[in-house]
Amino acid sequence: MRETYALAPEFVSQPRITMPSNGILLRGVNLLIRIQRRGFTWSDRVAVRTHSVRAEDGTATPVFEIVPKDLSGTAPALIDYHGGGFFFTYAGLHLAAAERYALEGRCRVFFPDYRLSIGHPFPAPFDDCYATLAWVHANAADLGVDPQRVALIGDSAGGALAAGVAQKAADRNENPICAQILIYPVTDHETKTKSAREFTDTPLWKTASNRAMWKVYLRGTEYATSGGSTPVSPYAAPLHRENFAGLPPARVEVAEFDPLRDEGRQYADALQAAGVSVDLREAKGAIHGYDLVAGSPTAEAMFKERSAAIQRFLGDP
């Protein structure tokens, strides 16, 4: 029997599907996403170029740079990690959001096309994302980036990548980050929170999909091969960090009817308990992935708040 939730009207008709962990099926979905995003075009207000960034293992990652055409000189940077369960490629709506971040935030946006977990489980996608941050800092002068105003943003699995990258930068005391903006973030591989137990039939993303995501992402890791007896790296599951002190200030968005809601709240709470400044916002009536629901008034309201936060974070130090 289908569960009923008090969803905002724009989310009621969204599909209730369970994401597979089968590689062939996931590749088929990715093909559909790639076909669909062919209809996306950049506006004439931005200039876009593609860079090639190498991770520590030598793998080259394409990174889009999106810049307002009327922006010149040294500017802040926003590194944008797309969501998609670690196993899906970016959609056209991810690119549209990146363009808006550049225009409304008056910044240079860097958008890595990181490796997907179907063929490259953790740590490969994470390594590509950290390499992007390191590359932006190493080439800040040539890119026209102010290295003191570099922020990270990510939605869903991209939120886990952003949080993990922020942790690694803090651990290494390198590549400083002025803020982390986490949108309905993935933070915990255990999928045992109250919201994970309650929201088993929500549109777009449900508890079973979350478990499939982690099965694919963590396969081959010590955690997977030990049957769960070895801890998961906090760079994969950021909530499992021991000490949150010293991490950059954050904005965390969660959705009311999202199996990931409580782990997002818990991450915000852990940051705040460690003395990190956190702005936690909950989208009422919303589902996981609300940014990907075209025309959603809820998503638009949250986006405007987010843009204002980006402007504050990237403002003059």
Spot the catalytic one: 128, 146, 155, 156: 156
- Residues 175-190 have a mean pLDDT of 97
pLDDT for the residue numbered 317? 62
Spot the catalytic one: 82, 94, 137, 288: 288
Q: Is residue 236 part of a domain?
A: yes
Q: Would you tell me the crossing angle of helices 23-37 and 92-105 to the nearest 10 degrees?
A: 50
pTM exceeds 0.95: yes
Count the alpha carbons within 13 Å of 184 in the hemisphere toward its beta carbon.
28
Give the neighbor-by-neighbor strand order of the sheet with 46-54.
46-54, 60-68, 108-112, 75-81, 145-155, 179-183, 250-257, 278-287
- Residues 236-254 have a mean pLDDT of 98
Spot the catalytic one: 146, 258, 279, 291: 258
In the chain, what percentage of residues exceed pLDDT 90? Answer: 94
Q: Which pLDDT tens digit goes with each residue over 188-215?
A: 999 999 999 999 999 999 999 999 999 9
pLDDT higher than threshold 80 for residue 3: no
Q: Is residue 3 part of a domain?
A: no
pLDDT for the residue numbered 235? 98
pLDDT higher than threshold 90 for residue 224: no
pLDDT for the residue numbered 248? 98
- Residues 112-122 have a mean pLDDT of 97
Number of independent structural domains in the chain: 1
Asked if 307 is an active-site residue, the reply is: no
Asked if 258 is an active-site residue, the reply is: yes
Q: Which pLDDT tens digit goes with each residue over 97-107?
A: 999 999 999 99
Q: Is residue 74 part of a domain?
A: yes
Asked if 288 is an active-site residue, the reply is: yes
Residue 236 CB contacts under 8 Å (≥ 6 apart), including other chains: 122, 123, 126, 160, 164, 189, 217, 218, 221
Q: Is residue 1 part of a domain?
A: no
- The CATH number of whichever domain residue 231 belongs to comes to 3.40.50.1820
Domain containing 257 equals 9-313
